[in-house]
Structure formats: C-alpha cells, structure tokens
Chains A and B, each alone.
Chain A
Amino acid sequence: MKIIIANGTHEADFIVKKFKKEKHQITIINSDKNFGDYMSSSNHIPVLCGDPTKAYVLEDADVWDADVFIALSINDIDNYVACITAKKLFNIKRVVSVVRNPKRVDLFKTLGIDSVICSTYLLGESIKNESILEDFIKTISIENEKIVITEILIDKEYLLSNKLIKNAEIPSYLNISCIYREPDVIIANGDTLILPDDKLVIATTPDNHQNAVDFIQRKELNNGA
C-alpha cells in the first residue's frame, strides 16, 4: 500500500516503523525540519519538509492515488484541511485524521473524513465499556460505525444457554462470530453448544444492535421454543 503520513512526532515515528516492517510504501511530509531530518535518518526513508495543508506540497510529495493519508498534527483544523485537500485534489482512497477535541470526531466524518481518531474519545468509550456495563456487554464499532461487534456474557437463565446454535433460531440480522470460553476461543458453527458463562462475540448492523442484544438475553420461552 502507498501510505502518506503528514506531520506528527513520536506517534508518526511509531507508525512509520510499524508500516515499514509490513513493507508498505511510505511517504512522510513534516513541517518541522528538525523532526523531518530525524525521521529520515532513523527510518531510512525520504521526508519532504513542508506544510501538508498546501496543495503544492502534496504535489511535490507525489501523493497521487495513495491508499491511505494520515494527518497527525496537533492542530485539528490543519488535519482537516490536509485530509480534504488530499482526498479532493489527489484522489486518495482513504483519509484519516487525528483530533484532540472529541466533539470533532462525528463532525469531521460528516464533512467527509473517512476515519477520525481521538484519544480522549477512545478513552471515554473504553471507560464506558469497562465500567458502566460491568462486563456484561462490550461493544465496538468498525467501518465508520456501519458494523457493530458486541461481546455478551451468557447467563444460565438465558434461553440460549445450553443450546446448540443450529437449534437456537438465530435471526438473520445477527451473526455469532466466535465464543470465548476461558481459556479457549471457539469459532462458532451450527454444532457449537452455548454454555453459561460463555462470552458470545456477535456482529450486527447498528440498526439491529439492540434487537440482537435483546434476542441473546431472552429469558422467557417464546413460541414454545
């Protein structure tokens, strides 16, 4: 993949080292000449010194048709402009922006940034998942929240408990991807038996997420099943 990394300091260095191991083609644009020199010498890749919010700098860096453009500066607005310029003028397939202000995560997505990453936002989501829901349900969203992955602990009173998946009348809007039964991970199929204290990992769409959770947590008999 052709990956462009615009600005950033230590996180840029970390990402470059990771991607380089995976043999991706990396281009670095950094407006800080000293850090650019360090990146160049420590990673043995060319660094273009310049402001990635300027179209002529992106042109000099030959970013055309790159697969991913990642903007890592500490200024949210600069990251937005760099990403929009890359996407609209240079046909970059996917643009990723880091933001400091968590209120801008959804806003930037609405304005056309494919992925927006905010450490404060992620921290908030982690705390919410870890503490408030007390390990019963953990949820993450991927592909810009089009897919919801949920982990649900099976209580012995649930209808699904002690049932084979093929007999559980699983609705079409949810998929049981795997089961965590300490210490093993079981890839679920029709013959898998669901046991109390299993952690089911299910995939749904956001619209059906609540229905899926309700289905897994049913306790009373339904339609004589």
Chain B
Amino acid sequence: MKKNKIVVIGSGRLGASIAAMLSNEGNDVLIIDKDGTSFRKLSDTYSGYDVIGDATDLSILENEALIKEAKEVIITTDSDNINLFIAHLCFHIYDVPKIYARFSDTDKGKLIENTTIKAIYPFILSLEEFMNMRGEKSS
C-alpha cells in the first residue's frame, strides 16, 4: 500500500494548525478527533479530510484514519498517555516512517528511546524561549 498521507491525531490548537499548514503546502492531510466541534479550530484554507473518532480504537485508526497509508503521523491529543500509546501503535504495529508526538511530561521521552518516534515538549520549548527572551533583554 502506498504511504502518501499525513495523519494528524487531535484537533486542538496545535494539531489543527499543523494540519492547516501541511495542507496549504499541498500535502494529503487527514485530521482525526473524537470531538467534532474541535474541527472549528481548522482554518478556512484547510482542504484535507476531517474524521470524528477515537484513534485509540484500532479499527478506527485503520479504516477511518487510514493509518496504513500514512507517511507521517503527528499526535497532539491533550493526554500524554494516549499520545504515547498511539505513537507505540504507529511504530510497532503500523510501521509509520515518521512519528511525532507531543508530551507534557518529559519522562515519557524515556519510553520512546530506541524508536523513530520524535517528541515535542512544550515545557522545554517554553523554557528555551524564556531563556532566549531573558538573554535578549539583558544584552
């Protein structure tokens, strides 16, 4: 099966923005969230698919989110545990080439060592941004 889709899981502010940006770049994007009202956060220019469903359910992940056709998956639900579980599914079961997951808890990083899963930590990004801002101010 050809892997040409980008699947975004979780349509919060970050997920919806990533989906819109990648869609505007011309990618074949699909976004899934269990709450249909969250798709309001998608911009008007978004031209991909939106799917209502629970991505921790294998049948939905396969049949609705088309995970087997994914070349990239970006996981941004508001639960670290769900993000870790889906990232493990994408790596161990579906062999998705590129996997990105957001984690609030940096300890979750230890559970994706020796995999190709890449972590986004808002805490570390905020800390770095703060230190940069502070550096700029004092210079």
Q: A110-B93, A111-B92 are in contact. Are A54 and B58 (CB under 8 A)?
A: no
From A32-40, A79-87, A145-153, A207-215, the one touching the partner chain is A79-87
| Mask of A79-120 contacts with B, CB within 8 angstroms, 1/0 | 011001100110000000000000100010011000000000
Q: Which of these, B79, B80, B111, contacts A89 with CB under 8 Å?
A: B111
The residues in A between 146 and 166 inclusive whose CB is less than 8 angstroms from any CB of B are none
A55 contact from B88, B93, B110, Cβ within 8 A: B110
Please name all residues of chain B whose beta carbon is closer than 8 Å to the beta carbon of A56 when the two chains form the complex.
107
Chain A interface category by residue count: 10 to 19
Instruction: Please give me the residue from chain B that is nearest to A101 by CB atom.
Output: B57
Question: How many residues from B make CB contacts under 8 Å with A?
Answer: 17
Give the A-B contact count at a CB cut-off of 8 A.
Answer: 41
| In the complex, B85 has a CB within 8 A of chain A | yes
Q: Is B105 an interface residue (CB 8 A)?
A: yes
Given contacts A77-B56, A77-B81, 11 further A-B pairs with CB under 8 A are A53-B81, A54-B107, A81-B81, A84-B84, A84-B111, A85-B111, A88-B111, A107-B58, A110-B93, A111-B89, A111-B93
A198, CB-defined interface residue at 8 Å:
no
Please encode chain B, from 80 to 111, with 1 for each CB lying within 8 Å of some chain A CB and 0 for all others: 11101100110011000000000001010011
